[in-house]
Structure 1
Amino acid sequence: MLNMPAMPREHGGMQPHALQVFRAVAEHGSITAAARTLRYTQSAVSRQIAALEAETGAILFDRLPRGVALTEQGRCLLGHAEAVLDRLDAARRDLAALRELTAGRLRVGAFPTAVAALVPRALATFRSAHPGVALSLVEGLTPGLLERLLAGDADVAVLSAASDQPLDDERFDLHHLVDEVLLVAVPRTHRLAHRRTVRLRELADDAFIAGSADAEKTLLRATLPADFRPRIDIVAAEWTGKLGCVAAGLGVALIPALAVRAAPPDLALLRLHPDDASVRRVFAATVAGRSRPPAVHRFLDHLDTAAAGLGLPDHPSGSGVTPGNTN
């Protein structure tokens, strides 16, 4: 005797399985043939049809000497049943595509210097591996990126934080990617350009080029001692402008190691003495308590690989750094 699988127990309403049984009986014109196809007993299929007729208050099939035939009410229900079952099949396919990364989306936010190399490398390898996933990237500062995460406008954000200004690890899940030092960019003609490391006091007479006239709002405050007050003569928001001004001899600037590839070759990049330098920590953040989509899980792997391949200088006491090369 064949072992028939048990028919799922259903509790009220026109459940999908009941509609599937109904469609099979309609297609075969026979309860016996439908039961054979579904691998249920004939009595189980008959009970399912009877329960569906009781639920709808309609006679769905005329019982004939040989098989069954849809009534007018049965034909009406069949169109709806096929639409419901087709939509459920489509939903299963769409969910499988998200799980298998053959479809879906990935919305990434990143702070400016992470867009110089780290995030584009990770996005490029991710797109190569999963071309069906739609990618988007928004550049912004860390506070704004955190707001985008909380608002649901980004799936993951690459952020930076000074060691003495940690990110909120209660509201955000933080995946550590890399630590980066800040370098000093000077023109090749600068009196200290031949040096490997410098002390801040040696730059006391130099004009600094920063993103704000207020040192408290720039990278300067993330690394400089409280008693060091830089003179900011030129404010340039973008890295191309900052480094262009440095190359022209208008001042010096702090540059994160992640942005080294954006530096023109006519600059010298010097490391700060360990007593003066601090480290910025770089994380990939998602909102705590929210499920990470499969695309985010996979993208974190690509970020890890990209971060490891950057070869960032990990300590300010080593040799100087050549612009355009962090290896």
Structure 2
Amino acid sequence: MLNVRRLLLLTEIAEHGSLTGAASAAGMTASAASQQMSRLEAEVGQPLLERLPRGVRLTGAGEALVARGRAIRRELRAAQADLDAFARLDRGTLRLGSFPTVSASLLPLALTRFARAHAGAEVVVRSAMLAQLREMLHTGEVELALLWDYRWNRVSDEALTLTHLLNDPTVLVVPANSRLLDEPEVSLRSLAAQHWIIRADNHPVAEVLRRSCRLAGFEPRIAYESHDYQEAQAMVAAGLGIAIAPRLALTNRRNDVRLVRLGADVPAPIRRILLARPENRMPTPATLAMIDILHAVAERFTDTNLDRNQLGSVRRVGGPRAPRA
């Protein structure tokens, strides 16, 4: 097997016409360059250079190798240019995993910022549930994923590097004319007689409701099982019942529902939003850039900022509200 470094040095010697000139360009002594050429000639089993009083001359075999050396040098320079482009994010694809709640809230802003800053890079988003997202990280289908957990189902995986992005608290969803808006604070225990809108198909938020209600000493009376948060809001607005939901799920809140913080008698569960990437893979420049952007965007979706900018009406105490029908 030919030594590529020596082949490239031979190419430099051919272009400079001397060992001394090539050695200077390569950052080595003429003696070291001569030794490298002797080793290359030993590898190929024939002379490649004729030493002249002034300079050197290629043999036929040397000319053939120099032609190959120039082609290899072109490819190596092109490869370096490709790597530089990926480092500048002028090229490349980021495979990102997400789930519906964040895909409908903070992710669009992050994607927009990434596209503006790195127009040459592409982002491919795969939306899935928690177990599928973890599997896609393990198999390499995605390089970075947004995950979630509660205190009773913490994501613990030695194969993943996990970073906390933000907390997503649980809130109560009530009609805009609900009497609950008159209360200075809503205790979950006081809601035992209420009917509830719940997510269908064993959705995680259904488990959140049942766990919270059991801690408060009652089983929730289920009036309707919805298949998405917009449907749940519509049923709440219609007066069929009340609901709980993670705050990020209600970024696009209907005008005819209001959000209420639950009292401290039974602490409202907090969902953690996490960033995950494989532990054994070095993150690409695109991955690192997206991580920075997601952290910046998450600041806009913190509890305080959501109160002010996103949801508009998250209530703990009474105040002006819509008239009752």
User: TM-score range with shorter-chain normalisation?
Assistant: 0.7 to 0.9
Give the equivalent residue in structure 2 for 1:18: 6
Percent identity, please: 34
Q: 1:89 aligns with which of 77, 95, 104?
A: 77
SS in 1 for 2:131: helix
> Which moved further from structure 2: 256-265 or 111-120?
111-120
Structure 1 residue identity aligned to 2:288: H
> Which residue of the partner structure matches residue 33 of structure 2?
45
Paired positions, count? 311
Query: In 2, Cα distance between the equivalents of 1:46 and 1:256?
Result: 71
- 1:285-304 equivalent positions in 2, closer than 5 A: 285-304=276-295
Contact 1:62–1:69 at 8 Å: present in 2 too? yes
Tell me if the contact between 2:187 and 2:263 (Cα under 8 Å) persists in the aligned partners.
yes
Task: Please tell me whether residue 103 in structure 1 is matched to residue 94 in structure 2.
Answer: no
1:76 lines up with 2:64 in the alignment: yes
TM-superposition CA deviations, 1:282-309 (whole Å, max 9, x none):
2112233433333333322222221222
Q: TM-score, normalised by structure 2?
A: 0.81
Is residue 105–residue 248 contact of structure 2 (8 Å, CA) maintained in 1?
yes
Q: In structure 2, what is the equivalent of residue 263 of structure 1? A: 253
Quickly say closer, same or farther: Cα 1:40–1:285, change in 2 above 3 A. Answer: closer
Q: 2:124 aligns with which of 136, 141, 153?
A: 136
Partner of 1:231: 221
- 2:7, 2:65 within 8 Å by CA — same for their partners in 1? no
Task: State the match for 2:241 in structure 1.
Answer: 251
Unaligned residue ranges in structure 2 (runs of 5+): 315-325
Listed as ranges, the gaps of 5+ residues in structure 1 are 1-12, 315-319
Distance of aligned partners of 1:234 and 1:79 in 2 relative to their CA distance in 1, 3 Å threshold: farther
2: CA distance between counterparts of 1:311 and 1:96?
A: 36
**Residues 154-194 of structure 1: per-residue CA shift (max 9 Å, x gap):** 11211211123211053332211211211121222434244
Q: Is residue 168 of structure 1 aligned with residue 156 of structure 2?
A: yes
Number of the residue aligned with 2:180: 192
Distance 2:205 2:57 in 1: 78
Alignment partners' CA distance in 2, 1:147 and 1:190: 43
CA distance 1:61–1:173, change in 2 (3 Å): same
Task: Check 1:92–1:283 CA distance in 2 against 1; reply closer, same or farther (3 A cut).
Answer: same
Are residue 273 (structure 1) and residue 263 (structure 2) matched? yes
Question: SS of the residue aligned with 1:210?
Answer: strand
State whether residues 267 and 323 of structure 1, in contact with CA within 8 Å, keep that contact through their aligned partners in structure 2. Answer: no
| In 1, Cα distance between equivalents of 2:204 and 2:118 | 42
Q: Tell me which protein shows more helix as a share of its residues.
A: 2
What's the counterpart of residue 9 of structure 1?
none
